[in-house]
Amino acid sequence: MTPRTIGVTEVALRDAHQSLMATRMAMEDMVDACADIDQAGFWSVECWGGATYDACIRFLNEDPWQRLRTFRELMPNSRLQMLLRGQNLLGYRHYEDGVVERFVEKSAENGMDVFRVFDALNDPRNMARAMQAVKKTGKHAQGTICYTISPLHTTEGYIKLAGQLLDMGAESIALKDMAALLQPQAAYDVVKGIKDTYGDVQVNVHCHSTTGVTLVSLMKAIEAGADVVDTAISSMSLGPGHNPTESLVAMLEGTEYTTDLDMDRLLRIRDHFAKVRPKYAQFESATLVDTDIFSSQIPGGMLSNMESQLKAQGAGDRIREVMAEVPLVKADAGHPPLVTPSSQIVGTQAVFNVLMGKYKVLTGEFADLMLGYYGECIGERNPEVVEVARAQTKKEPITQRPADLLEPEWDKLVAEATALPGNDGSDEDVLTYAMFPSVAPGFFENRADGPKNVGKTPEQMASQAAAKGDDDRAVKGPITYKVSLGGREHNVVVERA
């Protein structure tokens, strides 16, 4: 029997460094791997998204659109893939439909092929316009299910959501597991359910590796019929990142499934990033494997957020109370998946409830969530808390699609963006301003300085390697000290002989 070929999406250029090193990787540390990535046989190459866009203009002084065009040029044979937050695009608010259309159009024009469209609340209405816009460009519109666990989330519910995404024209369905919560049996059940219900629709599965269990989930998803899975080259894998690409290849050897990946290319990609990764060590978290989320239901990033909020209030000892409060707040909000931004919104409200009394003070975002301004969740919202939100904000609850409330805003965005020093007058710049209005002005102004690499320089890496052999307490380079000697103070430069 000919084995069935499983497609692979390589995430090294986007989600891997986002998850492992706070999205800090500079384009110059990626370009040398692109030829091999382009030729390795991936189904697609994920390389763009909200956090990379943000990091480009906030930390790296890189034009994200230029990054996209460079990827396009360096990987002419690949499907370039991006993650798009539905009506939020790459920003944190709802955009008016005209902006959504323009953003998608420009992304396609600059080289994007596959748009993975998702919404944090799984509200199909927040994905519909972006999907439509993608269809209009002729590119690949992928509808996304954000996977989570709650008393209300069921296999049937996910299958139904897949149907809604297909109804809006999704060319494929992504099962997206941001928190490494997708256990093997659930992976099997959801994928099998989608395949059984809707026939031969393409299913992509995206997992993080945080809980140590999701390579098994990918195996089960493949057994259930999944067509494409997401992995990261081994030197950019594991921990809060993804399962290693080479391990996936090894996993399928001898089975009824195979990949068409070129192992020699994979090893060159691996070796490239093995050299690059240590440059960004200061941005890495220490987490290697963490299964706490299965019992706490609280993603690791959310937990550390809440801890630092508590500490800032001198209440670091109340984390257990907050952890017990989270599921209650989540239930009151109708069981949103806990991902950006819902995780921050729910977490901060849980902190407020513990410190100031239950729903005594709502954050603006939590009030909006309760009033429907982020869209609909799977569950009903607690009417008593909705009433508190209404009373506090004087805003009325809504049931329509949040973006329906927005006026056309493109012309206003153009006017504001083009007034900024350094703006180049392109639609791309308008979109950058639209996505990150507080960061874009600084970026436009300094863009001419060119890209900034926040990783360690080759010189720093070399001196660090040299120092590693030394005693822990030794001086590692020339340092000027104030030294008192015989009652007089001197400036003394000290360095290794």
Instruction: Based on the shown chain and the rule CB under 8 A, indicate whether residue 467 belongs to the binding site for a copy of itself.
Output: yes
Question: In this structure, are residues 67 and 13 in contact, taking their beta carbons and an 8 Å threshold?
Answer: no
Contact residue for a copy of itself among 263, 355, 406, 439 (CB under 8 A): 263
Helices 31-39 and 263-276: crossing angle in degrees, nearest 10, is 160
Whose structure tokens read 């239950």? 358
- State in angstroms the smallest separation of the CB of 289 from a copy of itself: 5
Instruction: Based on the shown chain and the rule CB under 8 A, indicate whether residue 426 belongs to the binding site for a copy of itself.
Output: no
Instruction: Based on the shown chain and the rule CB under 8 A, indicate whether residue 392 belongs to the binding site for a copy of itself.
Output: no
Q: How far apart are CA 258 and CA 255, in angstroms?
A: 7
Contact residue for a copy of itself among 4, 28, 255, 405 (CB under 8 A): 255
- Cβ closer to a copy of itself: 108 or 216? 216
Stretch that binds a copy of itself, among 34-42, 240-248, 311-319, 334-342 (CB under 8 A): 240-248
Q: Which of 143, 131, 90, 144 shows the shortest CA–CA distance to 341?
A: 90
Instruction: Based on the shown chain and the rule CB under 8 A, indicate whether residue 259 belongs to the binding site for a copy of itself.
Output: no
Residues 6+ away with beta carbon under 8 Å from 239? 19, 20, 209, 210, 284, 285, 287, 288, 289
Contact residue for a copy of itself among 81, 243, 344, 349 (CB under 8 A): 243
Instruction: Based on the shown chain and the rule CB under 8 A, indicate whether residue 391 belongs to the binding site for a copy of itself.
Output: no
Instruction: Based on the shown chain and the rule CB under 8 A, indicate whether residue 468 belongs to the binding site for a copy of itself.
Output: no
* DSSP structure class, residue 204: E
- State in angstroms the smallest separation of the CB of 141 from a copy of itself: 31
Whose structure tokens read 């090193």? 21
The binding track of 206-225 with respect to a copy of itself, each residue x by CB under 8 A or -, is -----xxx-xx--x------
HEC-encoded secondary structure of 13-43: HHHHHHHHHCCCCCHHHCHHHHHHHHHCCCC
Instruction: Based on the shown chain and the rule CB under 8 A, indicate whether residue 480 belongs to the binding site for a copy of itself.
Output: no
- State in angstroms the smallest separation of the CB of 149 from a copy of itself: 10
Give the pair of three-digit tokens for residue 45. 């190459």
Instruction: Based on the shown chain and the rule CB under 8 A, indicate whether residue 477 belongs to the binding site for a copy of itself.
Output: yes
The binding track of 293-332 with respect to a copy of itself, each residue x by CB under 8 A or -, is -xx-------------------------------------
Neighbours of 94 (CB within 10 A): 23
Stretch that binds a copy of itself, among 34-42, 109-117, 127-135, 472-480 (CB under 8 A): 472-480
- State in angstroms the smallest separation of the CB of 59 from a copy of itself: 20
Q: How far apart are CA 54 and CA 45, in angstroms?
A: 19
- Per CB under 8 A, which of residues 167..186 are in contact with a copy of itself? 183-186
Cα separation values, 97 from 69, 130, 131, 135, Å: 25, 8, 11, 15
Instruction: Based on the shown chain and the rule CB under 8 A, indicate whether residue 81 belongs to the binding site for a copy of itself.
Output: no
Instruction: Based on the shown chain and the rule CB under 8 A, indicate whether residue 19 belongs to the binding site for a copy of itself.
Output: no
Cα separation values, 69 from 27, 33, 72, 78, 342, Å: 12, 16, 5, 13, 32
C-alpha count within 13 angstroms, C-beta hemisphere, residue 406: 19
- State in angstroms the smallest separation of the CB of 435 from a copy of itself: 34
Sign of the Cα torsion 52, 289, 142, 93 reads negative
The residue ranges that bind a copy of itself (CB under 8 A) are 183-186, 211-213, 215-216, 219, 234, 237-238, 243-244, 246-251, 253-255, 263, 267, 288-292, 294-295, 464, 467, 472-477, 479, 481-483, 485, 490, 492, 494, 497
